[in-house]
A and B are shown apart, each in its own frame.
Chain A
C-alpha cells in the first residue's frame, strides 16, 4: 500500500470514469434531458456546495462536510431536491404557476467504508412544483416511464404506493407514539413497527389489516379497504383515481400498486414510487409527492418529482445489451505525405458533418470507426479504392 504514491490514488468511493463509460453516460444524459425537455421541463444547475445547515433531506452523517476559510460549515450537495426547494423559495416564491425543473448532475453521499459504495454519482431527475393532484402525479410517473423507455430499459416495473396508507393507521395512535412505528417502517423494520403499533394501542383488527397491506402488491386494492381507517381508505381512493391516468400516460403496463413500498426519507406526503429491474438489488429511480418540504424554506407549495440513480440505470441497460446508437462512426484519417492536403481533407469532411481524427487513435471509447487515407486534399483512399471526399461522406451515410 505504502508503495502507491498519493498522487495516483483517489479517495475511496470516488473513481475515474474512463472514456467508454463516460461516452455512454453522456448518451444517457442526452436521452434523459431530451425527454424531460419534451414535457416542458427546463434545466436547473444548483452549485455543488451549499451551507451544511441547509440540507434537510438526509441524515447528517450521510453528508460530506467541510469548513471553508470563513469558518462556515459547507456540504457537498447530497441531493438536488433540497437545492431546488431553496431556489424556488428564493426566486419563485411569489408565483403560483407550475414550475417544471430538471437536472443531471453529480450528488455526494458519505458512505461507511468497506461497503463498496460510491460517494459521488450522477443523479438525473425532475421536480414539478406548484401542481397538485392525480394529474401532476401521473405526469411525473408517466415522464419517468417514458424517459427510461427511451434509454432502452425494457424490464422496469414501477412500484406505486402512498405514504398516507400507513400514516392513516398510525393516526389512530397518540401523536407522540406514531413516530416509533413510522420510523421503523421507513427503516425497513416491519416486524418492529407492527409490534410497537400493537404495544401502543393499535387494535388487533387494524394491525392485521396493516400487516396485510404491507404485504400486498398488484393491481387490485379493493381487498385492503375492509379494516382500514378512513385516512388510509382515502389514500387507496387516490391510487384508484390515479390508475386510469397512468394507463392514459402509457405506463399502465409497468405499474404495480405496492403499499409495502415506504421510502426511507421522511418528507414524502402522498403518492410515492420506485423503479426496479430484476437483477439489481437497488432501485433505478425513486420519487413521490413532498408537499411539506418547500414550506421549510418559505411558503408551502405542492411538489412532486423523482431522481434516477444514473449508475444503476446504466448498469441495467448495459445488462440488457444497450449501446450508444446516436453517434455516427469516427473516420480515422491516415495522413498523406502533404500535411496541408491532410488538414484540408479533414476540414472538408468535418464541414459535411463527419467526425474525423487524424493519425492514430489510442482510445475510441467504444465508438465505431472507419479508416481512410488522404490522397490529396479532395481525395481519400477508402475500402481499397480512391474516392472523392463527397463520395466518402455519401458512403458513410448509408
Chain B
C-alpha cells in the first residue's frame, strides 16, 4: 500500500495511554513523543493527525483520516457516521445524571408539580436522548464547562456530566441519580477506508483489542482530575 494510514489521535486526557496502546500494537510513536507543535506527523507507514477529541469523529466521517482513537463519550455526543471497531478499555468514565444530594426529593416533587426539569450539561445530545428514552420532560441548558455549578447557583435542577471518580460531584454536593453510559476509548474508522484498507485497519483493531484484553493500560483512572 503506497499511501500512509492516516490515524487521528486525541490530544488531552487520552494522549499518554493512546501512545502506550499504539506502541503495544507495534506502531512507531517516537516521532509523536518529540513532535513539538506539529499536528501532522509522518512515522513510517502511518501519518498521525493530532486533533482535539471532539473533532476526531468529523475528521474520520469525512475521510480526512482513515481511522482514529477517541472516547465513546465524544462519539455519543457527535452522532458522526463512523465505524467503531475496537474497545481499548482505557479512559474509562461515565455519563451520569446528577442532582444536589440534599434536594433530590424536592426536585422530584417539582417534576410532578411543574412537569419539567431543567438540566444543565456540556453534552446536550446525550442528555436529550437519554431523557427522551426515559420519557422524562426536560429543558436542556447547554453550558461550555463546569455544569456542576449550575444547581448551586439556581441555573438548573439536575446536570448531565461525565465523571471518572465522582470526586468533583461529591465536592459540589451532587449525587448520581442514574448512570447513562460507561465510556472508554475506541478505535473508529471511516466506512470507505475500512473497506479499501481492510487489512491494515482490521489488523490494528485486532492488535489493540488483544492488548486491551491482556490488561492494556495499567491505570484506568486517567481522568481522575475530574
Contact = CB atoms under 8 A, between A and B. Distances in A.
Contact of A278 (B186, B191, B196, B199): B196
Interface string B169-196: 0000000000000000010001111111
Contacts of A281: 61-64, 190-193
A280 B199 CA distance: 18
A191 B84 contact: yes
Interface string A215-255: 10100000000000000000000000000000000000000
Interface in A267-318: 274, 276, 278-283
A261 interface: yes
A24 interface: no
A381 interface: no
Contacts of B202: 215, 217
Contact of A261 (B3, B82, B195): B195
Interface in A185-204: 188-192, 195
Contacts of B81: 188, 264
B150 interface: no
Interface residues of A, number: 26
Interface in B42-91: 58, 61-64, 79, 81-87
B226 interface: no
Contacts of B85: 190-191
Which of B193, B198, B205, B206: most chain A Cβ within 10 A?
Answer: B198
A145 interface: no
Nearest to A218: B198
Contacts, number: 59
B195 A116 contact: no
B195 A190 contact: no
Contacts of B86: 191
Contacts of A189: 84
Given A215-B206, A282-B63, A283-B191, A192 B196 contact: no
Contacts of A188: 81-84, 191
A276 B196 contact: yes
Nearest to A260: B194
Interface of A: 112, 115-116, 157, 159, 188-192, 195, 215, 217, 256, 258, 260-261, 264, 274, 276, 278-283
21 contacts: A116-B62, A157-B196, A188-B82, A188-B83, A188-B191, A190-B85, A191-B87, A195-B87, A217-B198, A217-B202, A256-B195, A258-B195, A260-B194, A260-B195, A274-B195, A276-B196, A280-B63, A281-B61, A281-B62, A281-B191, A282-B63
Interface of B: 3, 58, 61-64, 79, 81-87, 186, 190-196, 198-199, 202, 205-206
